[in-house]
């Protein structure tokens, strides 16, 4: 869903678990997440709450523009959408991006290389993820944002609106469709990097809006930015298991919460990590990357990310060293042709390698095993006999990084195939590691390595 920007229930529902941090010497600042309105009487219907929230958008928009440092060209159209209508919209969009035949091929390929632990229809997994997690969304095609989930809290609704209005502002200034779907098309890792910018920017602006509403003071903007720093750093440090636990704990602690939101918050752990992990990371780790850009040059530095986008998930996962002050550009890899019918070819990047290792060998530390990533490319083919074979070429910053990756990958094979039975060949060549998954033909691997170009 590269061209549709969402406000997740994770963010829309998030309230601090402890009082907001106060910088030394600062005056008392209201915790914006504790400013949730306590009285909703008489209780309004879902549609009434949605329409009331959308009626407040005209007041939110100029405040957000001031906080974000960009002016709107025109008001962003809004609408309420039922869950059923939202699901229909998702299916239509997914049919364009992942039609059934492509979904089947990519799903089989991901299962073969270990990005999935069990058979999954990726199109259905993406639909389930977005249906359960999206509280609101902005559609660049319609130039409009839609509220789907409707919590009873006005602050939560207005926070969701601030997130989606930021997407509308991005679209007016930077053309989201062109940014997320350029020609030639991006590989998966390049798309993840741009999604970090889009969602990280909207999350940062949303948190700043919520904090300013809680404090009710423009004078406190500097203090609020420091508070937000602490919040973003806290969430960016979480892995998927920690997100899952936080959502379940939070849902259990709020018995009066909207039923849809409660169900959604409890569903994260049931979704495929390769689908939901990068999505969640684009919000909170994306906000951390945007904060680093902001620290280097304010909003103009954030705006520059749309004109000169990051190229890899590695850059946005390590913005202090891989994005700023200078970029660590990924190596380009041209794979040798693997005989057979190609199911898919793509780049995993640091983010999907982290998902892979956390899925199979969390004791090896997925983040550590994927550290030092320099580039990768993989292809999965189906042979005439129906067997699947994959060829993966990876390059790393140092031979030590390559060795760490190789060790963790070999350990993952023991977990994936405890009884053996999968033919695999792994070759370490200094800073490069090559993998033949589904075959152990040394001569074939020799040829593939010889004919693969790494720049």
Q: State which of 323, 356, 385 marks the end of a domain.
A: 323
**231-251 tens-digit pLDDT:** 888 778 877 777 777 767 766
Does residue 376 share a domain with residue 311?
Answer: no
Q: Are residues 214 and 250 in the same domain?
A: yes
- The verdict on 300 and 358 lying in the same domain is no
Does the pTM surpass 0.75? The reply is: yes
Question: Domain range for residue 318?
Answer: 5-323
pLDDT at 285 over 70: yes
Structure tokens belonging to residue 167: 């997407």
Is the pLDDT at 32 greater than 50, yes or no?
Answer: no
Task: Looking at the structure, tell me whether residues 291 and 434 fall in a common domain.
Answer: no
| Shared-domain flag, residues 16 and 86 | yes
Average pLDDT over residues 329-344: 98
Cα–Cα distance between 166 and 179 in angstroms, integer?
15
Classify the phi-psi angles of 203: left when phi > 0, otherwise alpha if psi is within -120 to 50, otherwise beta.
Answer: alpha
Within a 10 A sphere around the Cβ of 221, how many other Cβ atoms? 15
Percent of the chain with pLDDT over 90: 69
182 in the same domain as 54: yes
For residue 319, being part of any structural domain is answered with yes
Between 144 and 27, where is the model more confident? 144
Whole-angstrom distance, CA of residue 262 vs CA of residue 151: 10
- For residues 361 and 306, membership in a common domain is answered with no
Looking at residue 9, what is its pLDDT?
58
In 3D space, the residue among 9, 10, 17 whose CA is nearest the CA of residue 230 turns out to be 17
342 pLDDT above the threshold of 50: yes
What token pair was written down for 119? Answer: 């058979």
Instruction: Return mean pLDDT, the chain.
Output: 87
328, part of any domain: no
SS3 189: helix
Last residue of a domain, one of 275, 303, 323: 323
- 364 assigned to some structural domain: yes
Same domain? For 429 and 387 the reply is yes
Shared domain for 13 and 131, answered yes or no, is yes
Please write the tens of the pLDDT for every residue from 43-59. Answer: 788 899 999 999 999 99
Tell me: do 207 and 271 sit in the same domain.
yes
Boundary residue ending a domain (266, 291, 323): 323
Taking residues 132-146, what's their average pLDDT?
A: 91
> Rounded mean pLDDT of 84-89?
92
Domain count, the chain: 2
Q: Let me know how long the chain is.
A: 455
Q: What is the mean pLDDT of residues 59-85?
A: 95
pLDDT of residue 198 exceeding 70? yes
Residues 76 and 128 in one domain: yes
SS (H, E, C) 8-62: EHHHHCCCCCCCCCCCCCCCCCCCHHHCCCCCCCCCCCHHHHHHHHHHCHHHHHH
Supply the pLDDT for residue 236. 82
Q: How far apart are CA 322 and CA 371, in angstroms?
A: 11
Instruction: Calculate mean pLDDT across residues 207-217.
Output: 77
Cα–Cα distance, 99 to 89 (Å, whole number) = 14
Whether residue 223 has pLDDT greater than 70:
no
Shared domain check, 358 and 292: no
């Amino acid at each position: 869903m590269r061209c549709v920007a969402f406000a997740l229930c994770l963010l829309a529902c998030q309230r601090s678990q402890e009082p907001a941090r106060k910088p030394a010497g600062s005056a008392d600042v209201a915790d914006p997440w504790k400013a949730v309105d306590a009285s909703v009487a008489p209780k309004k219907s879902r549609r009434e709450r949605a329409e009331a929230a959308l009626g407040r958008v005209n007041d939110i928009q100029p405040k957000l523009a001031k906080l974000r440092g960009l002016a709107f060209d025109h008001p962003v159209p809004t609408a309420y959408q039922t869950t059923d209508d939202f699901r229909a919209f998702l299916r239509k969009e997914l049919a364009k991006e992942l039609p059934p035949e492509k979904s089947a091929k990519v799903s089989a390929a991901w299962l073969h290389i270990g990005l999935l632990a069990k058979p999954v229809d990726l199109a259905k997994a993406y639909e389930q993820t977005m249906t359960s997690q999206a509280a609101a969304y902005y559609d660049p095609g319609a130039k409009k944002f839609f509220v789907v989930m409707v919590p009873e809290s006005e602050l939560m609704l207005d926070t969701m609106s601030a997130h989606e209005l930021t997407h509308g502002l991005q679209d007016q200034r930077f053309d989201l469709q062109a940014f997320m779907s350029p020609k030639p098309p991006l590989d998966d890792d390049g798309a993840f990097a741009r999604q970090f910018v889009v969602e990280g920017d909207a999350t940062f602006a949303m948190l700043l809006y919520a904090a300013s509403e809680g404090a009710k003071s423009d004078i406190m903007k500097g203090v609020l930015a420091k508070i937000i720093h602490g919040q973003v750093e806290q969430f960016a440090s979480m892995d998927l298991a920690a997100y899952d636990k936080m959502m379940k704990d939070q849902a259990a602690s709020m018995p009066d919460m909207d039923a849809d939101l409660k169900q959604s918050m409890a569903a994260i752990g049931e979704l495929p990590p390769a689908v939901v992990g990068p999505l969640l990371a684009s919000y909170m780790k994306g906000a951390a990357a945007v904060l680093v850009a902001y620290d280097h040059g304010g909003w103009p530095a954030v705006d520059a990310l749309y004109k000169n986008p990051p190229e890899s998930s590695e850059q946005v996962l390590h913005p202090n060293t891989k994005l700023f002050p200078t970029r660590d550009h990924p190596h380009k890899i041209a794979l040798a042709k693997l005989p057979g019918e190609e199911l898919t070819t793509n780049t995993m990047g640091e983010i999907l390698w982290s998902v892979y290792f956390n899925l199979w060998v969390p004791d090896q530390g997925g983040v550590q095993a994927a550290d030092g990533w320099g580039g990768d490319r993989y292809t999965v083919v189906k042979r005439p006999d129906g067997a699947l074979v994959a060829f993966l070429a990876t390059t790393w910053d140092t031979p030590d990084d390559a060795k760490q990756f190789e060790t963790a990958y070999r350990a993952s094979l023991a977990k994936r195939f405890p009884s053996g039975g999968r033919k695999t060949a792994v070759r370490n060549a200094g800073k490069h590691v090559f993998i033949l998954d589904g075959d152990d033909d040394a001569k074939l691997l020799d040829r593939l390595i010889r004919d693969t170009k790494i720049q």
